[in-house]
Structure 1
Amino acid sequence: MKKLVLSFATLALILTSCSEDTDTTQVTKPVVEGEITGEITTNKTFEKGNYTIKGTVRVKSGATLTIAAGSVITADISNGLDMVLVENGGKVNFTGTAAEPIIFTEKSKTAGSWGGIVMFGDAPIVSGKDANGNPITTATSEDGTNTVYGGNNATHNGGVMKYVQVQFAGKKLSDNTSEMNGFSFYSVGSGTVLENLVAYKGADDGFEFYGGTVSAKNLISYGNFDDSFDWQDGWKGEFNTDWYAYQEGTGNYGMEIEAKNVNNSFYPTVDRITLKRAPGTQTEGGSSAAEYDAIQFKKEGNGIYKNVLVSGYVNPNAVAVRIQDAGTNTNQVNTGKIKLLNIKVNDGTTNFGFKDGSVQVSFPIDNYKTTDATTGATLTAGAWSSVDGLNLIK
């Protein structure tokens, strides 16, 4: 019996030893590395890893490009033009997390080194008027691809982008008319999900909407050379919240709003906006360029903007809200199509004015309301809102 007990004890010791070895042994999954290039014609998934992007990655109609959370995709200016282009009918699944964003960057960390993310859809646009005064419902892209955009599918779905950073984009092309942004959305529809996106230190706009019906939540535009947020072609996203912009070094308007000279009732709506400008920030054209205002409305641009915090636009000639032309003042301001509700303007900046002071701007009662209670954008900081250890919303 003693021998049997000893055997059991010995067996238990052996099993315990094996269990301990198993518990403490960790298998580290290797980091995936590779290249993303060419046309995506069928569904393609890239696991979490470090990738290089080479040339135009074109997501074709019927295909979905998926990139896992925590991935870093690096462009290289020496390759020529790098960009991610999603054609109408193509989709992306770029679903990062607050702790593990998907990061698109560039090797040299130089503004304007690549083309960023460009998405096309077939949602409605209005790009001007024809000779008979009828709205023009298509246009050609300004990204150098000369893609025709515009359609009738208001619910177009280009996929999902959540917790995605685009760094050092905004490439300007050699023809001096074509340019790109951090994120460019051409007639993108309301079925597309855009949340927690960062455009960081690009050489053009942080975010630009060319018509369409898509809305976006939790956007950060940081250190972009042109406008932080820009749109045209009758964009009418109605469910936008928490937009944060910080301009430093070089920057033009915080928000540039236009509708191609088409009198309209589009009413894009954004709730909770912060527009900040660092001391010493110059416009792209230097001191001669009058693009130093927080918000500019022109060419019949309009909309409803709530809880807006403006800070740092202290150029002696700057205003918080600039009305750029008489048509916009007559058709949009005077008829109540532009509303700024609960706006707080710091630093003693003048609230609003006309381009050259030749027209008296007067908002209808209750359409321009100031308050000290506005906090602007409300965002939760994390890895998704940081670049190289810098908290972008501090």
Structure 2
Amino acid sequence: MKKHVLLIALAAGVFATACKKEKEASGADDRGLTAGTINTPCTGAFGPVDLPEIISGNRTLSNDTIYLLDGKTWVKNGTLTIEPGTVIRGVKKATAADASALIVTTGALINAQGTETCPIVFTSNEATPAPGDWGGVVILGNAEICTPSGTAQIEGITAAPAGVTYTYGGTTADATSGVFSYVRIEYAGAVIIEGNELNGLTLGGVGCGTKLDHVATYYGADDGFEFFGGNVNAKYLLAVANNDDQFDFDFGYRGSLQFLVSIIDPAAAYAANNSNGIESDGGTVVTNPERICHTRPVISNMTIVGAEGSTTSPLLYGARVRVNSHIVFRNSIITGYPAAGITLESAHSIASNAGTANDTCRSAVDSTYIFDDIVETSGTTEYLNVSPRHSSAAIAANPGNIGLNGPFSTTMSDYFDSFSQLLAPSTTPATLPGRFCGLSPVACSTVFSFNTVSWKGGALDAAGNYWLSDSWLQFSGY
């Protein structure tokens, strides 16, 4: 595994508050230039500095300073720019409703463009961090969502300061919320009550004009990624050991995704009877005119790794497709989920999976299409209500037949080792050619396309490199 100065610096930490939180701030970053203890090639030695409750207008967070989210910080109107290598720490609060979080509201933009050597890091401010120490990052936009009104208030938030709203949704399909790239989010999540939670990264109505790639969520208290409607496309997303679902799609999300990896830590705690690699739910019946909105993520080259043995953790399904939801799931691998690998749970989901085994390029926009995947479970059922399976290698009898170097490890750092490359394809069927017909982005096709590669699973990038060993992912909390 690569060794990096940044990893050591993040483990050291700075936990004091440098200044009283402002009510509202805009313009140039006022850092106070108070000497701190973190000093790496990416991150300087000033701070920590509290972020204000409201950032109005344009502001830049400089990578020579450590910042604190002490409660919720709301970005409205302008652009929040975060320099590569910047570290932002969430302060732990007494209740989930008060959890610290960064919220980029509809109409505002985030310009968080990290790099492989200098990622932007959101993490806990606790000396001994744990899942749920702070709330997470929320980005809201005005692309279409599936609710009767076409708008909604985002989950996990109960109130906003005067002049700020957490409503999202609209009609602008190619809307942009900015750039979110080479970002790590650690120990986030806040569960107010079931069904009202913050996640590592929450995306509400985010349009496909947004650049979203190379984002990782580690050890969160709820979902790693949750997409509420919108159609933002993304590549290189990693979810590790988040308490509930690793990826969650809802409210009519219809984006395209490639090179995704989901890994659970068998030593971590998970939500009983509710933890899936993917959970996909639809929206509601919409009137004027009446129609049923369908969530439909279009996914290629994803690897979902559960636990070896059905009783290791209270996991459920590799991919759970529920009410009013469809899915396109191609060239992907699922292993280690006890209830089933893939399940279709509603009449709409089951009926939409009505193609034939020879219909390899089907792209009907309201259909489920599961093709050319490899599914193995730690239980006995690979597929539930999935027929036909549209797959040249539908079921692997055991983990050794899925064609990865080593899908299960109790040493989490092994997954990110450039030498062992546990999730890289090693033999057939993982190295059988993938099929890329029938995959297309719903919108913004000129700025997103699927890369055609000759393997299944998501751990190799478009050039065939094991991207899980890239330096921006090296994390000290395994």
Q: Structure 1 residue 231: deviation in Å?
A: 0.7
Instruction: Tell me the residue number matched to 2:279.
Output: 256
Kept in 2, the 8 Å contact 1:32–1:47? The answer is no
Instruction: Tell me the residue number matched to 2:416.
Output: none
Instruction: Tell me the residue number matched to 1:101.
Output: 119
Instruction: Tell me the residue number matched to 1:25.
Output: none
d(CA) in 2 for partners of 1:112 and 1:214?
26
Q: Structure 1 residue 176: deviation in Å?
A: 5.2
Kept in 1, the 8 Å contact 2:90–2:125? The answer is yes
Q: Structure 1 residue 389: deviation in Å?
A: 7.3
Q: Which of 142, 154, 169 does residue 122 from structure 1 map onto?
A: 142
CA deviation map 1:116-172 (0-9, x unaligned): 000111100113xxxxxxx55222321224633221011111111111011111111
Q: Structure 1 residue 368: deviation in Å?
A: 8.1
Q: Structure 1 residue 278: deviation in Å?
A: 2.8
Q: Which of 308, 327, 330 does residue 306 from structure 1 map onto?
A: 330
- Secondary structure, counterpart of 2:349 in structure 1: helix
Is it true that 1:170 corresponds to 2:193 in the alignment? no
d(CA) in 2 for partners of 1:116 and 1:243?
20
Query: 5+ residue gaps in structure 2?
Result: 1-40, 160-165, 286-291, 356-363, 395-428, 433-454, 462-466
d(CA) in 2 for partners of 1:126 and 1:347?
32
d(CA) in 2 for partners of 1:323 and 1:217?
25
d(CA) in 2 for partners of 1:77 and 1:143?
15
Kept in 1, the 8 Å contact 2:138–2:201? The answer is yes
Kept in 2, the 8 Å contact 1:339–1:368? The answer is no
Instruction: Tell me the residue number matched to 2:346.
Output: 325
Q: Structure 1 residue 115: deviation in Å?
A: 1.3
Instruction: Tell me the residue number matched to 2:89.
Output: 74
Q: Which of 359, 375, 389 does residue 456 from structure 2 map onto?
A: 375
d(CA) in 2 for partners of 1:250 and 1:326?
32
Kept in 1, the 8 Å contact 2:330–2:371? The answer is yes
Q: Report the CA distance shift for 1:301/1:77 in structure 2 as closer, same or farther (over 3 A).
A: same
d(CA) in 2 for partners of 1:201 and 1:293?
19
d(CA) in 2 for partners of 1:347 and 1:353?
12
Q: Which of 349, 357, 373 does residue 343 from structure 1 map onto?
A: 373
Larger Rg: 1
Is it true that 1:334 corresponds to 2:354 in the alignment? yes
d(CA) in 2 for partners of 1:297 and 1:320?
11
Q: Report the CA distance shift for 1:260/1:389 in structure 2 as closer, same or farther (over 3 A).
A: closer
d(CA) in 2 for partners of 1:56 and 1:271?
35
Q: Report the CA distance shift for 1:65/1:282 in structure 2 as closer, same or farther (over 3 A).
A: same
Instruction: Tell me the residue number matched to 2:476.
Output: 388
Kept in 2, the 8 Å contact 1:261–1:299? The answer is no
> For 1:1-394, what aligned pairs fall within 5 Å after superposition?
31-33=45-47, 34-48=49-63, 49-61=65-77, 63-78=78-93, 80-108=98-126, 109-127=129-147, 136-145=149-158, 147-173=166-192, 177-238=195-256, 240-248=257-265, 249-251=268-270, 252-260=275-283, 263=292, 267-279=296-308, 281-283=312-314, 292-313=316-337, 315=338, 318-330=339-351, 332-334=352-354, 337-346=367-376, 349-354=380-385, 361-363=386-388, 366=390, 370=394, 371-372=429-430, 373=432, 374-377=455-458, 378-379=460-461, 380=467, 381-388=469-476
Equivalent position amino acid for 1:112 in 2: G
d(CA) in 1 for partners of 2:169 and 2:472?
32
Kept in 2, the 8 Å contact 1:250–1:281? The answer is no
Equivalent position amino acid for 2:324 in 1: E
d(CA) in 2 for partners of 1:297 and 1:344?
17
Percent identity between the aligned chains? Answer: 29
TM-score between the two structures when normalised by the length of structure 2: 0.65
Equivalent position amino acid for 2:101 in 1: M
Equivalent position amino acid for 2:374 in 1: K
d(CA) in 1 for partners of 2:375 and 2:318?
10
Q: Structure 1 residue 264: deviation in Å?
A: 5.1
TM-score between the two structures when normalised by the length of structure 1: 0.79
Q: Structure 1 residue 345: deviation in Å?
A: 1.8
Equivalent position amino acid for 1:105 in 2: T
Kept in 2, the 8 Å contact 1:170–1:182? The answer is yes
Kept in 1, the 8 Å contact 2:295–2:324? The answer is no
- C-alpha RMSD of matched pairs (Å): 2.4
CA deviation map 1:302-339 (0-9, x unaligned): 121221111222x2xx2111111233212x22367111
Q: Structure 1 residue 281: deviation in Å?
A: 4.3
CA deviation map 1:205-264 (0-9, x unaligned): 0000000011111000001010010011110113x1101000123341100112125545
Query: 5+ residue gaps in structure 1?
Result: 1-27, 128-134, 284-290, 355-360
d(CA) in 2 for partners of 1:112 and 1:78?
10
Further displaced range: 209-218 or 77-86: 77-86
- Secondary structure, counterpart of 2:222 in structure 1: coil
The structure where strand makes up a greater share of residues is: 1
Q: Report the CA distance shift for 1:261/1:351 in structure 2 as closer, same or farther (over 3 A).
A: farther
Kept in 2, the 8 Å contact 1:36–1:52? The answer is yes
- Secondary structure, counterpart of 1:179 in structure 2: strand
Q: Structure 1 residue 265: deviation in Å?
A: 6.4
